[in-house]
A and B are shown apart, each in its own frame.
Chain A
Amino acid sequence: MRITRSQMIKAFCSVLPFLIVIGLWELAVDINIVSSRLVPSPSLIALKFHRLITPKPILLDILCMSFYRLILGYALGVSVGISLGILMGVSKFLDRVFSPLLSLLISVPTLAWVPLLLVTLGPGEETVIIAIFLGSFFPIVYNTLNGIRSVSKHHIWASHIMGADKATVFFEVLLPGSLVSIITGLRLAIGYSWRALVGAEMLAAGISAGVGQMIYAAKAFNDVAAMFAGLVIIAIGGLLLDRLLMDPIERRTVEKWGLVKER
């Protein structure tokens, strides 16, 4: 991949603010404007990261556990969400049945479900995974539903007059037509899932390693460096998920078809 000069300048400009902030931050802590007991300096945070990688790759454990839960919860949300969204989009009856229920359930903050999950499922993995499921489910259902509804009547008519039966209309018109919306839903859902993961891990006391758990546990030891390290992981993790996962999918489908403006 050839990187042009202007791309490099652009990348540098995006990184510059961070460098400035980190620089000032380091200065502030080093000359004791802020106590390093309360706010760790960037160098301390970097040191913490180093300790998390060697001698034992604790960081790897933490990330693996979190991603394992994320993938399960997200996959569940995607499969149930898209299925329900399609069914509701195609069948008016199912739409009437589920719409009221969904609109009530969506008004509950995702993490508010966690205490209930803790009581019914216990303080373990399942709670976190189901919480992630709940986070990803709603944007996916609604976006899938909207996507199917948004396919224009004329596009469906055009396929009818060419002799398409219901199955063909569904697979060849409704599904591709709703793809833009579905991808939007997937995008939103990954963000919500990541946030649900972090929150649920902080609330579920019985789980082993995890990104959210790491921050919460660090508090018990007043380990501010670890807490900040956790924040960095959360920020970068969320960003990477969005860019690395969703962009390629978008590029190969909806951008190619001209349905979405290319970045």
Chain B
Amino acid sequence: MKVKQILRSSLLFLTPVVLLLLGWEIVATLKIINPVLISRPSEIFPLLYKMIMPKTRSFLGHSIFLDIYTSLYRLLYAFIIAVASGVGLGMLMGRNKFVYRFFDPLITVLMPIPGIAWAPIFMLWLGFGDPTIITVGALAAFFPIVYNTAAGVRSVEKKLIWSASSMGANEKTIFLKVLLPWSTPYIFTGFKLALARGWRTVIAVEMIAASLFGLGFMIFDARDYLRPSIIYAGIIVLVVIYFLIENVVKLIEKRTIEKWGMVRS
């Protein structure tokens, strides 16, 4: 019975979470730890509701949806830029040994640098707000895409290319009909990693480079008001968004690569 299964697994999932929230509420109410510091679930959820409704005057002055929307569109632009530049370079690297040998060491050294470390420089060059946040986000998302795309193209078995050439295919055809389809799962993995990295970076950079909107900014700014309940509310929103994005990606995966049987374990 599918319904029974779903109910059962939801229950298993929720029970520890609910117990934790209860314990939290009790600890805060009994003042075991200073409630100013940890706030209570019973405060957070109503606050969250208030923040969602644009009409009621929460301290933000605007609905939290605006912050969510801002962070998301920054992520989207960053992602698009990263894809546009990363896939191209990745494919070139995969196809041409010299391009690969040139860029690979550079990527190896630059990739581990956290996005937020780039932020001050870009803030100096591009100022506060969207330009910096989107650029740094794109930078963070760029590396996984190049890396994985290159890995994908490089992993094509020579024999697949040979058989296509012997059937008369030219470079362009080989690219479109052999390299591209083969690399798709790798590219997809790169996309997933890029989204994750980009999201983390956008939120982090917003903390120092945003001036009005954005989830990262909202959470960081709230520390000045000594109202941790806002921070918790923000964190909950982050969890929900992550959950949503993850499921959208899974859905896309199901409809495309899994259907074609090309998932790499």
Using a CB–CB cutoff of 8 Å, the interface residues on chain A facing chain B are 13-18, 20-21, 38, 96-101, 104, 107-116, 118-120, 191, 194-195, 198-199, 202-203, 212, 215-216, 218-219, 222, 224, 227-228, 230-231, 234-236, 238-239, 242
Q: Is B158 an interface residue (CB 8 A)?
A: no
- In this assembly, does B109 line the interface, its C-beta being within 8 Å of a C-beta of chain A? yes
* B16 x A98 contact (CB < 8 A): yes
16 residue pairs bridging A and B, Cβ less than 8 Å apart: A17-B103, A20-B102, A38-B124, A97-B16, A104-B239, A107-B243, A110-B200, A111-B116, A111-B204, A115-B220, A119-B228, A120-B37, A199-B114, A219-B123, A228-B121, A230-B117
Q: Which of A15, A38, A99, A119 is packed against the most chain B CB atoms within 10 Å? A: A119
Q: Is the CB of B113 within 8 A of A231?
A: yes
Which of B124, B199, B203, B238 contacts A227 (CB under 8 A)? B124
Chain B facing A: main interface SS: helix
B203→A111 contact, CB < 8 A: yes
| Given known A115-B219, A116-B228, contact A203–B113 (CB-CB < 8 A) | no
Q: How far is the CA of A191 from the CA of B143 in the complex (A)?
A: 15
Write the chain A residue with the least CB distance to B215.
Answer: A112
In the assembled complex, the Cα of A224 lies from the Cα of B116 at a distance in Å of 16
Contact B200 A111 (CB under 8 A): yes
A100 and B16 in contact, given A17-B105, A230-B117 (Cβ under 8 angstroms): yes
Chain A residues whose CB sits within 8 angstroms of the CB of B120 once the complex forms: 202, 215-216, 218-219, 227
Q: Which of B82-90, B146-154, B179-187, B229-237 contacts A (4 or more CB under 8 A)?
A: B229-237
Shortest B121–chain A CB gap in Å is 5
What residues of A have a CB within 8 angstroms of the CB of B109 in the complex?
Answer: 18, 235-236, 239
B110 at the interface (CB under 8 A from A): yes
Number of A-B residue pairs having CB atoms within 8 Å of each other in the complex? 140
The reply to whether B239 and A107 form a contact with Cβ atoms under 8 Å apart is yes
Q: Which residues of A contact B4 (CB under 8 A)?
A: none
Label chain A's interface by main secondary structure.
helix
Contact indicator A100/B13 (Cβ below 8 Å): yes
Within residues 98 to 131 of chain B, which ones have a CB less than 8 A from any CB in chain A? 101-103, 105-106, 108-110, 112-114, 116-121, 123-125
Q: Does B226 count as interface, using CB distance less than 8 angstroms?
A: yes
| B residues near A13, Cβ cutoff 8 Å | 101
Find out whether the CB atom of A18 lies under 8 angstroms from the CB atom of B228: no
**Additional 10 contacts, C-beta under 8 A, given A101-B16, A112-B238:** A99-B16, A112-B219, A112-B235, A114-B220, A195-B114, A215-B117, A216-B120, A231-B118, A236-B109, A238-B112
Q: Is B208 an interface residue (CB 8 A)?
A: yes
Enumerate chain A residues within 8 angstroms of B199, measured Cβ to Cβ.
109
Q: B245 CB to closest chain A CB, in angstroms?
A: 9
> B15's closest neighbor in chain A, by CB?
A100
A222 and B117 form a contact (CB under 8 A): no
In the complex, which residues of chain B have a beta carbon less than 8 angstroms from the beta carbon of A230?
A: 117
Q: Measured between alpha carbons, how far is A188 from B167 in the docked complex, in Å? A: 44
In Å, the complex CA distance between A227 and B120 comes to 8
User: How many Å from the CB of A95 to the closest CB on chain B?
Assistant: 11
Does B81 make an interface contact (CB < 8 A)?
no
A236 and B112 CA atoms in complex are apart in Å by: 9
Contacts A120-B228, A238-B112 given; does A104 touch B17 at CB 8 Å: yes
Q: Which of A112, A113, A191, A202 contacts B208 (CB 8 A)?
A: A202
CB closest residue in chain A, given B108: A239
User: Which A residue sits closest to B38, measured CB to CB?
Assistant: A120
Question: Min CB distance, A136 to chain B, in Å?
Answer: 14
Query: Does residue B6 face the partner (Cβ distance < 8 Å to A)?
Result: no
